[in-house]
Amino acid sequence: MKKILIAVTLLALAIPSFAAAKKKNKAKTGPAWTSLFDGKEIKGFTPVGGTATYRVEDGTIVGKTAEGSKNTFLATDKEYGDFELQLEVKCDVELNSGIQIRSHVYTEDTPQASNPKRIREKGEIYGYQCEITNQEKGVSGNFWDEGRWTKWHTELSAKGKKAFVDGAWNAYRIVAKGDHIQSWVNGVKCADFHDSMDASGFIGLQVHSIKKGSGPYEVRWRNLRIRELK
């Protein structure tokens, strides 16, 4: 009987420890990751803004320019607020691209905030854009206010300006939590700023417009995954 009582007592003492360990492991793991692209077909996205095309090739999403088109975005059907986004991108050196976050579509013709004389047409995009461009420009990883205030949200460090590698796959990490937005390119800290204009919106993969007689150019994305931060 004495042995049974001892065993029961030890079990009772162990239960809280098991619960605490489980809670600790869960906290360490954090929110679950969700893949935005399975490498086979484009689902949960809709092209908006222009007429550039998107296709799947060798497990990647390939965006191709269209002469005469406005900026085009492959936008998630779901909106995201606080999250961590990771992906890899490879872009033709001649092409400018970007990753929209917490972004929106103009539902009617609207004067641009930074220049009211310019009218943004219904269907155009506005919001935070994490830049993708060649290293010479030194702005990859910075955030441009697309279609609205048309300005950079911050200034990159000398190291951040050189983080992007031309002609190669580049790893992007973007974290948005409350009014705090940050980015890393190939593990190098780039943008880090606070702004409260947009609390949520879609995520979009940009194919930039091109000059007449140029192109076509392409940009590729792979390994897109996201975890929402509660």
- Given a contact cutoff of 8 angstroms between Cβ atoms, the answer to whether 188 and 163 are in contact is yes
**Which residue pairs from 47-53 have beta carbons closer than 8 angstroms and sit at least 24 positions apart in sequence?**
47/72, 47/73, 47/74, 47/75, 48/72, 48/73, 48/75, 48/105, 48/123, 48/125, 48/204, 49/73, 49/105, 49/123, 49/124, 49/125, 50/207, 50/209, 52/207
* pLDDT tens digits along 61-116: 999 999 999 999 999 999 999 999 999 999 999 999 999 999 999 999 999 999 99
pLDDT band, very low/low/confident/very high, at 6 (cuts 50, 70, 90)? very low
Tell me the pLDDT band of 5, cut-offs 50, 70 and 90.
very low
DSSP 14-82: HHHHHHHHHHHHHHHH-SPPEES--SS---SEEEESS--EEEEETTEEEEE--TT---EEEEESS-BSS
Neighbouring CB atoms inside 10 A of 115's CB total 11
Mean pLDDT lowest for which of 19-33, 158-172, 206-220? 19-33
Q: Tokens 């279609």 belong to which residue?
A: 147
Domain assignments of the chain as residue spans, ordered by start: 1-30, 32-228
What does the pLDDT look like over 130-167, one tens digit per residue? 999 999 999 999 999 999 999 999 999 999 999 999 99
CATH class of 32-228: mainly beta
State the pTM of this model: 0.86
What pLDDT is recorded for position 13?
45
